Structure 1
Amino acid sequence: MTSTALKPHQKELWGHPIGLYILFFTEMWERFSYYGMRAILVIYMIAKASDENGPGLGWTKVEALQLYGWYVMLVYVISIPGGIIADKMLGQKKTVLLGALILVAGHGTLAIDAPWAFFTGLILIILGVGCLKPNISTMVGGLYRKGDIRRDKGFSIFYIGINLGSLLATSLIGLVVAEWGWHAGFGMAGVAMLFGLLVYLYGQKYIVHVGNKPTLQEKEEDVSLVKIFYKLFSSPFQLGVFIILLGLSIYAGFTFDGVDHWGYGALFIFLSFVVGMLMMIYKSLESQVQKDRFLVLLLSFFIVIVFWGAFEQAGGLMSIYTETKTDRMLFGYLIPTPMFQGLNAGFILLFAVWVANIWAKRKLKGKEASSLFKMAVGTIIMGLGFVFMIFAVRDYDAHGKSAMIWLVLAYFFHTIGELSSSPVSLSFITKLAPVKYASLMMGVYFAATGLGGKVAGILGEKSAVFGDYAIFAGITIFTVAFGLLVISILKPLKRLTHGAEDDEHEMHGENEGFELAEN
């Protein structure tokens, strides 16, 4: 209900603060730019100078998937310092603005046809997403007071914007590339981000009360990484383990075979510090209940890595397969490759509520519906989607082209698996993580998601050695086996959670369905 006596940030539209719709459209355009660029990134890298869409980089499939793996990983890992900048220095509101400005510059740079512009643009996009992504969702939560029953519905509306941006981008950007070339597609992503920035600037008066610079007291109460590692250096055993891991990481990374050995060196060193941090967090926990829950939480991160390591093939190996080996003719029209990535967002909007209701009914009947079970089942369903990619390879071997139906079915299973697994991942962290380390654990979650992206790139690279059939079959077998393994040890794992989920109420179906888009 609106009133002229109310200040702008107090006004509402359709039962929610107007600020929600400002953040909705900001995120929609940001996701449009991100998924639009992601949809053409790999196929641009492998395109030859004589490509019908204009000259590409002419890279090999291995080189393109190497860069794709690093890019997807860094986009998520940089979310950790992005969150720290907001928490310690600027606040979420200014950090989101900074991220939007960097993203406009990054996408605009990609529109320039020059090698330096390509790499510079990617670096700027990584930094921009890292600043914007972890903070804009936090601002959505800040629009509602504690206990406000509208909060879940507000997040559902926000996440619709994420999927809508993805669907629009993957539906349109392929047409732009086909008509005007690769750099027009990158430029279109930049224009979309500019729209997002303008919406955000216009709506500042509606979000004056959220995401502000942290107070001195809030800074003092926050858990510092410096404090955690100070404890590490005061513990001889943990320090010894950390030094061994760090030494092995430096040796393994910088002796790694390949032109990107320096990247692996930095990655392994980073992981050593993460392991050291996790060891000290575990040691600092005050009760056995907290320690048991923390161990289960760490296992859930492995599930996250496995899930996204397979799922992110969509922007890598599956994108290349679609471009080079799929018969994309439909009624005499050549369907652009990026449109197939839009199937995921489209299926999300169509089936999110349906999948959520299935899980809700299952729980009402007293059947197993814990977060770990959903994550395991989601991983299995997503993995089974690659069975259709195996059929696609067999179809290609027999006829020289594979039918589109295999891709449609693969994306359908991937989406159903995502809807089962991803919505509960973030929620599971908030249930099990010690309160004072909740923010850090959220950062580790994003890092695990990023590592999954890197795994996806590595698997895609190996297709040049082992072939598409072996990679798709291997992903299917491993994800199904891994999911079944988690289910087989579900009872002892649930005991270690000490009833963390026993008292929770049923989520609204639409909220559970759309929460996945946070990834």
Structure 2
Amino acid sequence: MSQGPSKGTLWGHPQGLYVLFTTEMWERFSYYGMRALLVLTLVAATESLNPGFGMSQGDALKLYGYYTGLVYFTPLLGGWLADNYLGQRKSILIGGILMAAGQFTLFAATPHSIDLFYVGLGLIIAGNGLFKPNISTIVGDLYPQGDARRDSAFSIFYMGINLGAFLAPFVTSTLGESADYGWRWGYFAAGVGMTLAVVTQLMLFQRFLGDIGKVPGAQQDKLNAGGVKKPLTKVEFDRLRVIMFLFVFVTVFWLAFEQAGGLMNIYAQDYTDRMLGDTEIKAGYFQSLNPLFILLFAPVFSVLWVALHKRDKSPDAPIKIFAGLVLTAIGFMFLIFGLYEIQLYGKANMMWLVLAYLFHTLGELCISPVGLSLMTKLAPLRLASLVMGIWFLMPAIASFLAGLVGAFSENAAGYTFSHQVAAAIGLAPEYSGLLMVFGGVGVGLLLFAVVLWLISGMLVRWMHGAERMQPTSVEQGIDQELGSIAEHEGLGEQAKK
């Protein structure tokens, strides 16, 4: 006999929403807490007070690129397994157990066995693939079709993502970067967070969610499709061309953005004056800036877009993405300004890193919600899943490339051309590697922005008015903004509801 979800409500929403909120909060706590430590652990000297694995920066950043690329790729496989075989609930549970096991494996491996460390990363990648794309499906299933509360529910759920991401480094970095505890205890804390997510599922899911998410959805999807294949219309084909063009520009953005967990993390640890009075701020704490700025500025951007739309002055989506590329490029310019302080004083003021994260977040708010919202409007209904898969491929490819770009900083300092560029702007050769990466990424963003500006008119014509489906109120705009940004964190199923 099937069991429906709990009929009780809290603040106007089903109680099951807050169970999912808690589960996702702890999962993101685990993921971002571990991400704040990964590169720092790999590059820490084996004989230091807080020993790590003694990798070169280049090798560590390459590994980070492989890891994050797979983290964003495996949800394609995890979603397929859930739809066809496992169902969402079983996928989330198995994924959570695998990720908890992965975090505790990192704890056991550090700093003794790099091979066992790789096993831990593999477990987290596999578990993330099962967990990430499926939990949001259940959020949508709590509400009947047409329920006006659904958008608000995803906004609440998204707050859980950023709350976990914001809090995580304060715990894991406090433990991991301390010689009194060591890197391994940061991973242990991340494992505890993931364990709490699993325990929440085991104790509360059946009570508050009933049988939602237990049955694979492939059969129902086939029934809804009617088994009939129709050729694409010219309008649909044009809109798919827009998606493929934007794929390039959004991937370039994520390539730049994903320097946060890699080279920018090393910049924070090795090159930034992190003293606040007599207290040293942990390098990993800076990883909390992005979720904090999202929570602060996402509503502001929503109000801005809605206000401009009411005045019929809202920029077209390609222009918003153009602005996001420019803002992100400005963020890298602040890091270059910091190089002059490093050259003079040995360390850069942390203000430069804070400003970089701020402008990267502002760029994200121009690109991630706008781009994803546009994807869901451009995709033909029968290709919605494929288009969402393409969206996840963007950060997957970008994360892999980001690691390679970050690793290049170690080799770039050995090139005569790099020295010449550094000398031309008054920097010593030892800073030419950072200059070439930060400056190269910034210039690359600007070049792609110019190209996007030049072809924006063509892309708008190919959209055939799809993006004019805009929110009509500030409240609706905020819900849409937060919900769309959340797609980057694994809420792809929202677009299918």
RMSD: 2.0
Provide Cα deviations, 1:470-490, integer angstroms capped at 9, x if missing partner: 111111111122123212221
Matched to 1:36, the amino acid is G
TM-score by length of 2: 0.88
Deviation at 1:209, TM superposition (A): 4.4
CA contact (8 A) 2:84 2:216 kept: yes
Provide Cα deviations, 1:167-215, integer angstroms capped at 9, x if missing partner: 1002221111214110000010000000111112222222224323236
Distance in 2 (CA, whole Å) between partners of 1:167 and 1:430 is 28
Deviation at 1:370, TM superposition (A): 3.0
Q: 2:478 aligns to what?
A: 509
Deviation at 1:219, TM superposition (A): 5.8
CA contact (8 A) 2:5 2:211 kept: no
Q: 2:163 aligns to what?
A: 164
Identity of aligned residues (%): 43
Matched to 1:79, the amino acid is P
Alignment of 1:255-294 (within 5 A): 285-294=231-240
Distance in 1 (CA, whole Å) between partners of 2:215 and 2:123 is 24
Quick one: structure 1 residues 49 and 111, their matched pair in 2 at CA, closer, same or farther if it must change by over 3 Å?
Answer: same
Q: 1:435 aligns to what?
A: 381
Deviation at 1:10, TM superposition (A): 2.0
Distance in 2 (CA, whole Å) between partners of 1:286 and 1:164 is 42
Alignment of 1:134-149 (within 5 A): 134-149=133-148
Of the candidates 85, 89, 95, which is equivalent to residue 99 of structure 1?
95
Of the candidates 197, 208, 215, which is equivalent to residue 210 of structure 2?
208
Deviation at 1:411, TM superposition (A): 0.5
Quick one: structure 1 residues 41 and 485, their matched pair in 2 at CA, closer, same or farther if it must change by over 3 Å?
Answer: same
Distance in 1 (CA, whole Å) between partners of 2:305 and 2:65 is 33
Determine whether 1:37 maps to 2:3.
Answer: no
Runs of 4+ in 1 over 6 A off after TM superposition: none
CA contact (8 A) 1:222 1:436 kept: no
Alignment of 1:51-450 (within 5 A): 51-52=48-49, 54-113=50-109, 114-177=113-176, 178=178, 179-204=180-205, 205-214=207-216, 217-218=219-220, 220-221=222-223, 285-450=231-396
Of the candidates 500, 510, 513, which is equivalent to residue 466 of structure 2?
500
Provide Cα deviations, 1:141-189, integer angstroms capped at 9, x if missing partner: 1211111111111111000000000010022211112141100000100
Distance in 1 (CA, whole Å) between partners of 2:396 and 2:124 is 15
Deviation at 1:13, TM superposition (A): 0.9
Determine whether 1:483 maps to 2:449.
Answer: yes
CA contact (8 A) 1:74 1:126 kept: yes
CA contact (8 A) 1:155 1:515 kept: no
CA contact (8 A) 1:388 1:406 kept: yes
Matched to 1:74, the amino acid is L
Moved more, 69-78 or 140-149: 140-149
Quick one: structure 1 residues 221 and 297, their matched pair in 2 at CA, closer, same or farther if it must change by over 3 Å?
Answer: farther
Deviation at 1:504, TM superposition (A): 3.5
Deviation at 1:216, TM superposition (A): 6.7
CA contact (8 A) 1:285 1:291 kept: no
CA contact (8 A) 1:140 1:155 kept: yes
Provide Cα deviations, 1:276-318, integer angstroms capped at 9, x if missing partner: xxxxx9xx84211111001101122212211110000000000
Q: 1:518 aligns to what?
A: 487
Quick one: structure 1 residues 440 and 457, their matched pair in 2 at CA, closer, same or farther if it must change by over 3 Å?
Answer: same
CA contact (8 A) 2:252 2:398 kept: yes
CA contact (8 A) 1:304 1:448 kept: yes
Distance in 2 (CA, whole Å) between partners of 1:360 and 1:171 is 35
Quick one: structure 1 residues 285 and 372, their matched pair in 2 at CA, closer, same or farther if it must change by over 3 Å?
Answer: farther
Distance in 1 (CA, whole Å) between partners of 2:118 and 2:54 is 15
Give the gaps of 5 or more residues in structure 1.
1-5, 228-280
Deviation at 1:107, TM superposition (A): 0.7
Moved more, 120-129 or 504-513: 504-513
CA contact (8 A) 2:471 2:477 kept: no
Distance in 1 (CA, whole Å) between partners of 2:90 and 2:26 is 18
SS in 2 for 1:55: coil
Distance in 2 (CA, whole Å) between partners of 1:95 and 1:215 is 13
Moved more, 190-199 or 206-215: 206-215
Q: 2:428 aligns to what?
A: none
Distance in 2 (CA, whole Å) between partners of 1:368 and 1:219 is 36
Deviation at 1:44, TM superposition (A): 0.4
CA contact (8 A) 2:92 2:135 kept: yes
Quick one: structure 1 residues 137 and 215, their matched pair in 2 at CA, closer, same or farther if it must change by over 3 Å?
Answer: closer
Moved more, 474-483 or 96-105: 474-483
Quick one: structure 1 residues 489 and 46, their matched pair in 2 at CA, closer, same or farther if it must change by over 3 Å?
Answer: same
CA contact (8 A) 1:43 1:320 kept: yes
Distance in 1 (CA, whole Å) between partners of 2:125 and 2:338 is 33
Moved more, 404-413 or 375-384: 375-384
Distance in 2 (CA, whole Å) between partners of 1:8 and 1:119 is 39
SS in 2 for 1:489: helix
Deviation at 1:514, TM superposition (A): 5.6
Deviation at 1:379, TM superposition (A): 2.0
SS in 1 for 2:76: helix
Distance in 1 (CA, whole Å) between partners of 2:64 and 2:396 is 11
Deviation at 1:115, TM superposition (A): 2.4
Deviation at 1:40, TM superposition (A): 0.6
Give the gaps of 5 or more residues in structure 2.
413-432, 489-497
TM-score by length of 1: 0.84
CA contact (8 A) 2:83 2:217 kept: no
